[in-house]
Structure 1
Amino acid sequence: MTRLHAPEGPQYEAIDFGHAFYEVKERDPAKLAVIDEAHEWTWAQFGDLATRIAGRLNRMGVGRGDRIAVLAENSAPYLALYAGILCAGACVVPLPFSAQPETLKIMFADCGATVLFTSDRYADVAETLGAGEVIRLEGIDAWAEGAPLPEPVRVKPDDFFDLIYSSGTTGTPKGIIHDHRFRSRQLVRMPRFGLDENAVSILSTPLYSNTTLVSALPVIARGGTLVSMAKFDVEQFLNLSQKHHVTHGMLVPVQYMRIMKHPDFDKYDLTSWRVKLSTSAPLPGPLIADVLERWPGDLFEVYGMTEGGLTTVLDARANPTKLDTVGKVAEGCEARIIDEDGHELPAGSYGEIVGRGGPMMQGYLNADEKTQESRWVSPEGWDFIRTGDMGRFDEDGFLHLLDRRKDMIISGGFNIYAADLEKVLRAHPDVADVAVIAIPSEDWGETPLGLVVPQTAGVDADAIRTWANAQLGKTQRLSAIELRDDLPRSEIGKILKKELRAPYWEKTKA
Structure 2
Amino acid sequence: MLKITPPVSDAPPTETVVARIRTNASANPERLAIVCGSDSLSWGQFDLRINRVANLMVQQGFGTGDNIAIISPNSIPYAELFMGILRAGACVTPLSSMAAPEALQKMLVDCGAKAIFVAEQYLGLVDGFISDLPIARFAIDFTHASFSDYETALAHSPTTDPLVPIQMEDAFNLIYSSGTTGTPKGILHNHWMRAAQMDRVSPNGYDAEARTLISTPLYSNTTIVSFIPTLFGGSTVHLMAKFDARTYLQIAEREKITHTMLVPVQYKRIMDVPDFDSFDLTSMRLKFSTSAPLRADVKRDVLERFPGKLVEYYGLTEGGGVTVLVADEHPTKLHTVGTLAPGNDIRLIDAAGNEVPKGTVGEICGRGPTMMAGYFGRDDLTADYIWRDAEGLVYFRSGDMGAFDEDGFLVLSDRKKDMIISGGLNIYANDLELVLLEDPDVIDAAVIGIPSEAWGETPLGLVVTRDGASRTAADILTQANARLGKSQRLSELEIRETLPRSTIGKILKKDLRAPYWDATQA
Shorter-chain TM-score range: over 0.9
Q: Deviations over 1:488-508 (max 9, x none)?
A: 011111001111111112222
Q: Label 1:125 to 1:406 Cα distance change in 2 as closer, same or farther (>3 A).
A: closer
The answer to whether structure 1 residue 481 and structure 2 residue 481 are counterparts is no
Residue identity opposite 1:478 in structure 2: L
Structure 2 Cα separation of the partners of residues 100 and 37 of structure 1: 28
Equivalent in the alignment of 2:106: 106
Contact 1:98 1:167 in 2 (8 A): no
Q: Label 1:11 to 1:349 Cα distance change in 2 as closer, same or farther (>3 A).
A: farther
State which of 131, 134, 137 in structure 2 corresponds to 1:134: 137
State which of 245, 249, 252 in structure 2 corresponds to 1:241: 252
Q: TM-score, normalised by structure 1?
A: 0.97
Secondary structure in structure 2 of the residue aligned to 1:342: coil
Aligned residues: 510
State which of 206, 210, 213 in structure 2 corresponds to 1:199: 210
The answer to whether structure 1 residue 500 and structure 2 residue 503 are counterparts is no
Q: For residues 139-218 of structure 1, what are the structure 2 equivalents within 5 Å?
A: 140-145=150-155, 146-169=157-180, 171-218=182-229
Q: CA deviation at 1:142?
A: 4.0
Q: CA deviation at 1:124?
A: 4.2
Secondary structure in structure 1 of the residue aligned to 2:328: coil
Q: CA deviation at 1:45?
A: 1.1
Q: CA deviation at 1:291?
A: 0.7
Structure 2 Cα separation of the partners of residues 479 and 282 of structure 1: 25
Which range moves more in the overlay, 403-412 or 113-122?
113-122
The answer to whether structure 1 residue 363 and structure 2 residue 366 are counterparts is no
Q: CA deviation at 1:114?
A: 1.1
Residue identity opposite 2:391 in structure 1: E
Structure 2 Cα separation of the partners of residues 63 and 506 of structure 1: 44
Equivalent in the alignment of 1:317: 328
The answer to whether structure 1 residue 394 and structure 2 residue 405 are counterparts is yes
Contact 1:3 1:371 in 2 (8 A): no
Q: CA deviation at 1:131?
A: 4.7
The answer to whether structure 1 residue 460 and structure 2 residue 472 are counterparts is yes
Q: For residues 43-442 of structure 1, what are the structure 2 equivalents within 5 Å?
A: 43-127=43-127, 128-129=129-130, 130-138=133-141, 140-145=150-155, 146-169=157-180, 171-442=182-453
Which range moves more in the overlay, 323-332 or 22-31?
22-31
Which range moves more in the overlay, 119-128 or 176-185?
119-128
Q: CA deviation at 1:172?
A: 2.1
Equivalent in the alignment of 1:31: 31
Structure 2 Cα separation of the partners of residues 152 and 324 of structure 1: 48
Q: Label 1:250 to 1:25 Cα distance change in 2 as closer, same or farther (>3 A).
A: same
Structure 2 Cα separation of the partners of residues 217 and 124 of structure 1: 29
Q: CA deviation at 1:143?
A: 2.4
Contact 2:211 2:259 in 1 (8 A): yes
Contact 2:119 2:139 in 1 (8 A): yes
Secondary structure in structure 1 of the residue aligned to 2:377: coil
Equivalent in the alignment of 2:144: none
Secondary structure in structure 2 of the residue aligned to 1:26: helix
Q: Label 1:333 to 1:190 Cα distance change in 2 as closer, same or farther (>3 A).
A: farther
Q: CA deviation at 1:61?
A: 2.2
The answer to whether structure 1 residue 472 and structure 2 residue 484 are counterparts is yes
Structure 2 Cα separation of the partners of residues 356 and 495 of structure 1: 26
Which range moves more in the overlay, 55-64 or 376-385?
55-64
Q: CA deviation at 1:19?
A: 1.0
Which range moves more in the overlay, 234-243 or 284-293?
234-243
Structure 2 Cα separation of the partners of residues 87 and 134 of structure 1: 20
Residue identity opposite 2:308 in structure 1: G
Q: CA deviation at 1:47?
A: 1.4
Residue identity opposite 1:462 in structure 2: A
Q: Structure 2 unaligned runs (5+)?
A: 142-148
Contact 2:49 2:159 in 1 (8 A): no
Q: CA deviation at 1:62?
A: 2.1
Q: Label 1:117 to 1:131 Cα distance change in 2 as closer, same or farther (>3 A).
A: farther
Q: Label 1:187 to 1:141 Cα distance change in 2 as closer, same or farther (>3 A).
A: farther
Q: TM-score, normalised by structure 2?
A: 0.95
Structure 2 Cα separation of the partners of residues 342 and 198 of structure 1: 48
Equivalent in the alignment of 2:16: 16
Contact 2:96 2:179 in 1 (8 A): no
Residue identity opposite 2:43 in structure 1: W
Q: CA deviation at 1:18?
A: 1.3
Q: Label 1:28 to 1:448 Cα distance change in 2 as closer, same or farther (>3 A).
A: same
Secondary structure in structure 2 of the residue aligned to 1:161: strand
Q: CA deviation at 1:148?
A: 4.6
Contact 1:160 1:178 in 2 (8 A): yes
Structure 1 Cα separation of the partners of residues 159 and 485 of structure 2: 68
Residue identity opposite 1:213 in structure 2: I
Structure 1 Cα separation of the partners of residues 84 and 289 of structure 2: 28
Q: CA deviation at 1:165?
A: 0.5
Equivalent in the alignment of 2:146: none
